[in-house]
Chains A and B, each alone.
Chain A
Amino acid sequence: MDTVQKEHERLLKKLKGSEGIQNVQSTIDLLQSARDTIASDPTQASITMAKLQNPVKSSFDSINDSLKESHSSLNKYSKALDKFFKDRPLPSTEHDALSSQEHMINRAIAMHLLRQGQFSVAATFLSELAETKSRNSQQTTEYNPTNDATSLLDIDEAPSDQVRKQFVKMYYILHELKENKNLLPAIEWARENRDALETRGSNLEFELCRLQFVWLFNCEQYPGAPLSAGRQAALEYAKREFHVFLPRYMREVQQLIGAMAFCPNLQSSPYRNIFNNPTAWNDVSLSFTREFCSLMGLSADSPLYIATTAGAIALPTLLKLQTIMKAKRTEWTTQNELPVEIPLPPSYLFHSIFVCPVSKEQATDQNPPMMMPCGHVIAEESLKRLCKGSRFKCPYCPNESHPREARKIFM
């Protein structure tokens, strides 16, 4: 990369100092002065013209020289690029499994734009999609009327208006939360979805209300107001709102109310973490986003982002594999599974993964993990191979059991 950068700097410098145009200008000047001489004194015509030959020629030569120079610096930069990308060819484009599923990629992009809150880009994109589609379906009707039905079928491929509205709402709530420190829209949303959130075991509503309490307590709304005013407001808020939380969050509510007693010197009290937590707002907006997306069945971070990033991380390994396979002329035999392990950062691992310790194969629906009574787990196929229908010893402990006793487990 350094060489590329250096060569490019050199190229830029050359470009800035390029004399090509100056040389052209000097040719023009030569011609112009000759013209002036002849115009003022026609008798000088032939001699001026004769004198003009060599200078003009040499100025053309110097134009060419400066061109040659910029050519050589272009070439050097070319070479630097070639060298830099030599071991990094673009991945082969032989089989593109995705190009047939363009509409689903477009859908994912539209969703990503909505998730990022880029509503106007998303709107443009969707309308351009619709335009192309209507154009295409017109064409198909012209050429082949029978195809029309299929193009109408997948009308749902674009994210529905419903989803868009949800995201607009989410961004409105987040905006209020982050920019205006206004928790009320978020609390209202959490209240509307209380049942769903509760079954998920989410604390969101309480967390929001607690933050609201802290916010009132600290009097962030009216800086400079007396402390007691904030305390009063917080207390009233607690009286009004906290009773719904009592069964679940008894302890936390007690903490909040207990903190009142420490009011003047809260900073030295055991409660200071609750009342002075610089990341609280950020945390709460993150958990809000996660809950909001989860209720729509979506992951909190854009899948498109995670997948492309994982792809970029995986590509060097896959490329190496491709080169090796080409060199050894082998094909990869496990069609459903990548032939190499791709190390990703831990945050890119989501599901639990079970690899059978006997067969070293990953468990699938067809070959699920089975737990023997001793608590050890192997894949079903390994189990069948080991037991041959009768009692057998666990490969990992002295325990013997019948295959009937093994139970399918879900990771």
Chain B
Amino acid sequence: MAAELTSTKLNAENHLLLDQPLLRLPHELARRNFKSVQRVVEREKENVLPALKDAANNSLSGSHTPDQTLAALDAMLSRMQGLKRKMENLQGEERKVQDQSKKRIQYLESLHQIPSLVDVKYDEWSRTRLDRLMVDHMLRSGYSESAKQLAQEKGIEDLVDINVFVQCQRIADSLRHGETKEALQWCGENKAGLKKSQYNLEFELRLQQYIEMIRIGDKKKLIEAMLHAKKYLTPYMETQSTEISHAAGLLAFPRDTKAEPYRAMYSSVRWTHLAELFVRTHHELLSLPSRPLLHIALSAGLSALKTPSCHSEYTSSRSNSLSTTTSVCPICSTELNELARNMPYAHHTKSYIESDPIVLPNGRVYGQERLLNMNKNVGCIEAGTIKDPTTGEVFEEGDMKRVYIM
């Protein structure tokens, strides 16, 4: 058995490839939260300070009665109370997010305490990771009830981001049903992040609104559409000039036109496209990978485990479901077999076989000790004979022949 074929070393720092989003996402949330705080404070400051100045000046110059000054003060007070309430809410959010981050850091840190890949603790850690990845996959596919239930049963609510995905799914669904309101509201909340985005979600949403106005087609709506275009589309003139000229052209084409690109613009498929674009933008902003982590882990794992025997027409002599001395290979197990069919198999430079191989007359190779043990357990076999556990054929014990594998 080649030494370099197997390794039980666990390099925790390298091992955390799949776990980046675990810390990134709450951090993005915290940053977004912070920006909201900054924004509300800035807004109130710009409002209250001038108001205070005006009130003082007016009071000084005598153009305001004390009652009016009091009213101005009351207005300021209520604004400040509002600010306090908002800040308290946001700070509460931030607390929650950071406490969650703390738990996640502890979870990742605990991997550093595990000495090797064969440690029981690693098994446990890795099972939690699988649960996390499954929840992630479920959430992305929109099976949020299952995700919630699984997270709850496993007690890993702090390690998964159910609310974020549920919100994302809700907005995507609203787009699929032809609603732009929630998506635009989300854009409003994430203005700063969207500036750096590689997608033009907001533009596309506004364009869709414009298309819908034209679709209705009466004169009033057409005017409204043009005003809308002026307000929301023209600011993108520099980057989206072709789309904007197409939008302008759309005015001349009826709903049932066959001319491209106008037919595509009227098409209801655009909504599905918008929903996908939203999900992509959403994931980009929160540093979430575009495909489920489970897929990444699984495709790497399937290849690492797969051998040419897994999809061979001949049953392998080892790790098949017919013998008790070895466990069934996970790739051969029915759950993953089809999935792994088109994956490349693992690369090996050395043979890996039992140390005492013998061959039976039918060409099957077994470790001698294992074969004899198996036969002892089967019993009911005449002394001096050997039964092939895979095929069931019975041979003379003398027919076993040593085989040399370099």
Residues of A that sit less than 8 Å from B by CB: 1, 4-5, 8, 11-12, 15, 18, 20-21, 24-25, 27-28, 31-32, 34-35, 38-39, 42-43, 45-46, 49-50, 52-53, 56-57, 60, 63-64, 67, 70-71, 74, 77-78, 81, 85, 88, 90-91, 93, 96-99, 101-102, 104-109, 111-113, 118, 120-121, 124-125, 128-129, 132, 198-203, 247-249, 287, 290-291, 293-294, 297-316, 318-319, 334-355, 357, 360, 362-365, 371, 374-377, 396, 407-411
Contact = CB atoms under 8 A, between A and B. Distances in A.
B374 A310 contact: no
Contact of A42 (B27, B66, B325): B66
Nearest to A372: B404
B138 A125 contact: yes
B92 to A, nearest CB: 10
5 contacts: A52-B52, A81-B27, A308-B301, A315-B18, A411-B318
A354 B351 contact: yes
A225 B374 CA distance: 40
Nearest to A378: B406
Most chain B beta-carbon contacts within 10 A, residue among A34, A290, A374? A34
B6 A128 contact: no
B323 interface: yes
Contacts of B403: 371, 375, 377, 409
B142 A307 contact: no
Interface in B312-337: 312-319, 321-336
Given A305-B130, A314-B300, A350 B347 contact: no
Interface string B333-377: 111101100111111111111100001000111000000001101
Given A299-B329, A303-B330, A314-B304, A407 B126 contact: no
Contacts, number: 448
A132 B342 contact: no
Given A299-B321, A313-B117, A345-B118, 9 more contacts: A35-B70, A63-B45, A81-B27, A91-B17, A93-B296, A112-B130, A125-B138, A298-B333, A337-B346
A247 B380 contact: yes
B239 to A, nearest CB: 25
A60 B333 contact: no
Nearest to B81: A28
B23 interface: yes
A303 B316 contact: no
A385 B33 CA distance: 69
B184 interface: no
- Kindly list the 7 A-B residue pairs having the minimum CB-CB distance in the complex, ordered from nearest: A311-B301, A303-B330, A42-B66, A299-B328, A350-B329, A343-B7, A248-B379
A125 B146 contact: yes
A78 B134 CA distance: 27
B117 to A, nearest CB: 5
Given A125-B143, A318-B300, A38 B70 contact: yes
B141 interface: yes
Contacts of B404: 374-377, 396
Nearest to B73: A35
Given A52-B56, A314-B303, A20 B37 contact: yes
Given A202-B324, A343-B6, A349-B6, A67 B308 contact: no
Contacts of A202: 324, 377
B352 A352 contact: yes
Contacts of A341: 4-5, 346-349
Contact of B335 (A4, A60, A108, A374): A108
Interface string B41-65: 1000100110011011001101000
Nearest to B142: A132
B27 A77 contact: yes
Nearest to B324: A202
A364 B314 CA distance: 10
A18 B304 contact: no
B112 interface: yes
A31 B295 CA distance: 58
B228 to A, nearest CB: 29
B86 to A, nearest CB: 10
A343 B45 CA distance: 61
A362 B312 CA distance: 13
B313 to A, nearest CB: 6
Contacts of A396: 404, 406
Given A304-B336, A311-B301, A411 B316 contact: yes
Given A316-B14, A341-B5, A351 B297 contact: no
Contact of A310 (B305, B313, B333): B305
Given A101-B339, A201-B375, A300-B328, A353 B353 contact: yes
B348 A353 contact: yes
B257 interface: no
Contact of A352 (B70, B142, B365): B365
A169 B392 CA distance: 30
B17 to A, nearest CB: 5
Contacts of B277: none
Nearest to A45: B66
Contact of B49 (A56, A199, A371): A56
A195 to B, nearest CB: 11
A353 B357 CA distance: 12
Contact of B126 (A60, A305, A315): A305
Contacts of B145: 124, 128
A93 B41 contact: no
A209 to B, nearest CB: 15
B380 A340 contact: no
B177 interface: no
B66 A307 contact: no
Interface stretch (B95-103, B187-195, B201-209): B95-103
